[in-house]
Amino acid sequence: MSAKKIVLIVVVVLVLAGIAVGTILHGQSNITKVTTGKAVREDLTSVVNGTGQIKPRTYVNIGATAFGRITHLYVKEGDHVKKGATLATVESVQPEATVDAQQATIAASRTDITSYIAAEKTAQANIDQGKADLEQKTLDYSRSQALYNDKLIAKQDYDAKKAAYDMAVATLAQRQAALAQALAQTDSQRGHMNQAVASQRANYDALDKTISRAPFDGLVTNVPVREGETVVLGIQNAEGSTLMTLADMSVITAEVKVDETDIVNVSMGQTADVTVDALPGRVFKGHVTEVGDQALLRTTGVATSQSTTGTEEAKDFKVVVTLDQVTDELRPGLSATAKITTAHKPNALTIPIQALVQRDPGTEKILAANAGKPSATMATIPGSPAAKTQPVQGIYLLQTEKKKLRVNFVPITTGVTGATDIQVLSGLKEGDEIITGQYKVLRTLKSGTVVKRDNNVETAANTDDKS
């Protein structure tokens, strides 16, 4: 065989080999590349996030209770005070003068009562004297009556004894009336004194209101006034009527707003981790103690029941998380984030959330008939029943059929949703391999499609970005 023929044979073989390789590569280029994952068992926790601020459970605005000029402020913002401590005083010249005047009135009333009691004793002594005199006159009258009946004394003497007896009776009656009058005067003066004492209690109350005291142990969080300013009685929080704000820091809460789509999963007693922007790296444990019933407009914070506009904007709900432990580092108004644990499922069968797709059960075959049309959707495919049937939630299961990797849509039921994974209640078993991406592939993927695994780092990163 000549060299020319050998070269020709080699060229033909190389051409045939190139055609074969090209055919194989062309066939593989039409295979859809997918990223995969497996259904695994793990502890799954569902968390709802809310942002808000630190607030004390109890706080009050100490309002002015008397009109006048502030004579002294005993505290400043940031001070810790004990229950009953004096916080501020308002000028008290007029209330003090009223108390002193009323005190003098009460003292005069007590003196009058003492005088009337002495008059009672004098009247009683006069009655005792009158009774003794009446007893003597009674005996004289009885003897004179017996002597007169026996004709032993003149009628003139008898009449004198009778007149003396009648006089003694009248005198005793007069002195008894004088005693009753003295008793009545004493009772009347006691009534006047009791009235003055009652008025004095009101005067003391008015005087006491010029002094503001702490209703409980707490932290002074706001002092909008200064010494020398004049305060007035008025509506709470009105300018000039609030002296300061006192917060009870023995119980601290995080008042946060939770999105309306998550509030249905939040309930009383659930545990929460609270972080504060001002204290990076610190996590405060707490539990839910209040779940709001009123939706709040996200832009204004006003309850929907109080809004006069029929807006359809996003809404939040107020949730209060009470911290289990308190620290002096926490102050009212600090920005806070609460991560509320709404569910915990140990050893749950889970898959990545991005693997879930919605498919109409009647459109899988239609999608297969429209292979090569990735832009087609269930709504635009002729004859699609998408508008008539309810989409089914499921995943694409990776299976080997005739030595090729194919995907099949499998409906599943889900449970608790975690940060990146979701619980599978039925439809899968542990170890099943499923399609997790890419996002563009999942949008148009159909049952029966031949696929190729491509779980390299770059593809997985792209999948995460799209989901």
**Whether the predicted pLDDT of 22 surpasses 70:** no
- Angstrom distance (rounded) from CA 291 to CA 186: 65
Mean pLDDT, the chain, whole residue set: 83
Nearest to 330 by CA among 253, 402, 271: 253
pLDDT in tens, 180-229: 998 999 999 999 999 999 999 999 999 999 999 999 998 898 898 899 98
Model pLDDT, residue 2 = 64
Query: Helices in 326-466 by DSSP H: which ranges?
Result: 364-369, 439-444, 457-466
The answer to whether residue 228 is domain-embedded is no
pLDDT in tens, 358-403: 887 666 544 443 433 333 344 444 444 444 567 888 998 988 877 7
Model pLDDT, residue 402 = 74
Model pLDDT, residue 187 = 92
Task: Kindly calculate the radius of gyration of the chain based on its CA atoms and give it in whole angstroms.
Answer: 50
137-143 CB contacts, 8 Å cutoff, 24+ apart: 137/161, 137/164, 137/165, 137/167, 137/168, 138/165, 138/168, 140/164, 140/165, 141/165
Nearest to 340 by CA among 313, 318, 362: 318
Count structural domains, the chain: 3
Cis bond upstream, residue 438 (ω within 30): yes
Q: What is the CATH number of the domain that holds 390?
A: 2.40.420.20
3-class secondary-structure state, position 12: helix
**Whether the predicted pLDDT of 336 surpasses 90:** yes
Q: What is the CATH number of the domain that holds 101?
A: 1.10.287.620
Q: Based on the domain organization, do 309 and 370 belong to the same domain?
A: no
Nearest to 31 by CA among 463, 465, 461, 441: 441
3-class secondary-structure state, position 293: strand
pLDDT category, 405, cuts 50, 70, 90?
confident
Q: Based on the domain organization, do 144 and 197 belong to the same domain?
A: yes
Evaluated on CA atoms 405, 410, 416, 418, the torsion sign reads: positive
Q: Based on the domain organization, do 365 and 320 belong to the same domain?
A: no
Please tell me the least confidently modeled range out of 136-140, 242-246, 460-464. 460-464
Domain stops at, among 309, 344, 379: 344
- Identify whether the C-beta of residue 253 lies closer than 8 Å to the C-beta of residue 59: no
Residues of the domain holding 255: 251-344
Q: What percent of the chain has pLDDT over 70?
A: 82
**Whether the predicted pLDDT of 466 surpasses 70:** no
pLDDT in tens, 110-150: 999 999 999 989 989 999 998 998 899 899 888 888 888 88
Domain stops at, among 321, 344, 367: 344
- Angstrom distance (rounded) from CA 154 to CA 235: 94
From the number of C-beta atoms within 10 Å of its C-beta (0-12, 13-18, 19+), residue 131 rates as middle
The answer to whether residue 404 is domain-embedded is yes
Model pLDDT, residue 329 = 87
Q: What is the CATH number of the domain that holds 269?
A: 2.40.30.170
Torsion of CA 140, 144, 146, 148, to 10 degrees: -170
pLDDT in tens, 265-307: 999 999 999 999 999 999 999 999 999 988 888 877 777 766 6
pLDDT in tens, 406-435: 888 889 999 888 888 999 999 899 999 998
Model pLDDT, residue 198 = 93
Model pLDDT, residue 368 = 40
- Identify whether the C-beta of residue 296 lies closer than 8 Å to the C-beta of residue 303: yes
- Angstrom distance (rounded) from CA 114 to CA 185: 11
